[in-house]
Amino acid sequence: MKFLLRWLGIAIATFVAIWLIPGIYAVGDNGYIAVAAFSLALALVNSIVKPIAQILSLPITIITLGIFYLVVNALLLNLASWLSVSVFPSGVMVQTFGDAFLGAIVISIISGIMNAITGANEEKQVR
């Protein structure tokens, strides 16, 4: 259930990023299916690849006081874009690294707000 809530939050955040950033756009027949495919790819990348990328980039992230973490997010956004277009017949394209950087910031903020609203970040308490 938590994965579906996060997927919904990422989908809404992706719609906002497509609306705000001209270098991010949906490709394919249906924009909703393209965003759903991209948000699924991004959710899978965030749950599988992101922890590994965070550990590998930890030294440079510490040296840059956490700013390099934004670069990691942009690279993962590009990876999710490539996966969504390659695996599914439709997806979301990101034109440049700058667009991916801005898109990663927008998607992180909006999906964080959506996860807080839906309660996807809450841990179950064991009694």
Q: Looking at the predicted structure, is the pLDDT value of residue 117 above 70?
A: yes
Q: According to the model, what pLDDT value does residue 49 have? A: 93
Give the whole-angstrom CA distance, residue 26 versus residue 126: 42
Q: Looking at the predicted structure, is the pLDDT value of residue 119 above 80?
A: no
Confidence of residue 99 (pLDDT cuts 50, 70, 90): very high
What is the percent of the chain with per-residue pLDDT over 70, rounded to a whole number?
A: 94
Nearest to 88 by CA among 39, 23, 22, 16: 39
Q: According to the model, what pLDDT value does residue 69 have? A: 92
Give the whole-angstrom CA distance, residue 18 versus residue 41: 16
Question: What's the whole-model pTM score?
Answer: 0.84
Give the whole-angstrom CA distance, residue 107 versus residue 15: 9
Confidence of residue 2 (pLDDT cuts 50, 70, 90): confident
pLDDT (mean) for 8-31: 89
